[in-house]
């Protein structure tokens, strides 16, 4: 599935959200309107910054997709533990679950792009300047999808899944985490769609060279 298809794909949206959508649509539109009166170098700078912002959001979306898959795997592990009577087998499943939590943490760490990590919760807002005069900028809002309490809230098994109480609690945590990642992915997809639309208009008005990112796309997961 292509990246632009990922951007336009809609998920089921819960009524609540945890991160705001991109709040710079008017700023980008205003900057592009001013481009028509400005020098080609200003157009190139703004185009590169918008493309770089899109690449940064794209990197976050790829990471969220990977985390979503990992959460599905985590839920399967917990379900298997619930259906398993052997304490020894449950302990082995618990170890696999802990390793999966570490994998999610690694995915979050590797989601950084262009000096910005939109998923680790360390910095909630990043500003990308579109012009030298600071008259317009793109605001990228971050989220926290780490496994910690401030993020997805996935706790490590303390009893090696020996008790059904711990297993049921883990399943509930995973279910909540999947809803959270779905909301975050939806909002980042909306942000990416806005940026992609601006780049498309920029390409039409000024040519494809105005939409070349100053930084390459983020690493794969």
Question: Using one digit for the tens of pLDDT, what is the confidence trace for 97-138?
Answer: 999 999 999 999 999 988 899 999 999 888 887 766 666 778
pLDDT band for 202, please (50, 70, 90 cuts): low
pTM of the model: 0.75
Burial of 103 (0-12, 13-18, 19+ CB in 10 A): middle
* pLDDT on residue 200: 76
Question: 20-210: what fold?
Answer: f41 fragment of flagellin, N-terminal domain (1.20.1330)
Three-state helix/strand/coil letters over the chain: CCHHHHHHCCCCCCCCCCCCCCCCHHHHHHHHHHHCCCCHHHHHHHHHHHHHHHHHHHHHHHHHHHHHHHHHHHHHHHHHHHCCCCHHHHHHHHHHHHHHHHHHHHHHHCCCECCECCCECCCCEEEEECCCCCCCEEEEECCECCCCCCCCCCCCCCCCCCCHHHHHHHHHHHHHHHHHHHHHHHHHHHHHHHHHHHHHHHHHHHCHHHHCCCCCCCCCC
Position 142 scores a pLDDT of 92
pLDDT higher than threshold 90 for residue 220 = no
Q: Given this model, what pLDDT does residue 134 score?
A: 62
Does residue 163 carry a pLDDT above 80? yes
For residue 17, what pLDDT band results from cuts at 50, 70 and 90?
A: very low
pLDDT at 4 over 60: no
- Give me the pLDDT at residue 9, please: 40
Among the ranges given (69-83, 89-103, 181-195), the one the predictor scored with the smallest mean pLDDT? 181-195
- The encoded tokens of residue 212 equal 């070349």
> What is the structure's pLDDT at 111?
94
* Alpha carbon distances (Å) from 11 to 25, 180, 182: 22, 12, 7
**Domain layout of the chain by residue ranges:** 20-210
Residue 214: CB atoms within 10 A of its CB come to: 15
**Could you give the percent of the chain with pLDDT greater than 70?**
69
CB 143 within 8 Å of CB 84:
no
Residue 162 in contact with residue 91, Cβ under 8 Å?
yes
Q: Are 103 and 70 in contact (CB under 8 A)?
A: yes
């Amino acid at each position: 599935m292509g990246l632009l298809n990922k951007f336009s794909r809609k998920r089921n949206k819960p009524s609540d959200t945890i991160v705001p959508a991109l709040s710079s649509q008017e700023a980008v539109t205003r900057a592009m309107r001013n481009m028509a009166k400005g020098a080609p170098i200003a157009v190139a700078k703004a185009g590169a910054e918008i493309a770089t912002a899109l690449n940064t959001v794209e990197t976050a979306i790829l990471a969220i997709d990977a985390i979503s898959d990992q959460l599905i795997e985590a839920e399967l592990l917990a379900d298997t533990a619930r259906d398993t009577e052997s304490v020894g087998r449950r302990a082995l499943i618990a170890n696999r679950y802990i390793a999966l939590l570490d994998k999610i943490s690694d995915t979050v760490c590797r989601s950084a792009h262009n000096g910005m990590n939109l998923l680790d919760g360390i910095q909630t807002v990043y500003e990308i300047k579109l012009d030298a005069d600071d008259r317009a900028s793109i605001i990228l809002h971050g989220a926290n999808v780490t496994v910690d309490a401030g993020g997805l809230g996935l706790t490590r098994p303390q009893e090696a899944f020996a008790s059904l109480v711990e297993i049921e609690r883990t399943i509930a945590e995973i279910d909540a985490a999947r809803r959270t990642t779905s909301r975050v992915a939806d909002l980042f997809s909306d942000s990416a769609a806005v940026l992609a639309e601006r780049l498309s208009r920029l390409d039409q008005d000024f040519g494809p060279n105005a939409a070349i990112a100053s930084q390459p796309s983020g690493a794969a997961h």
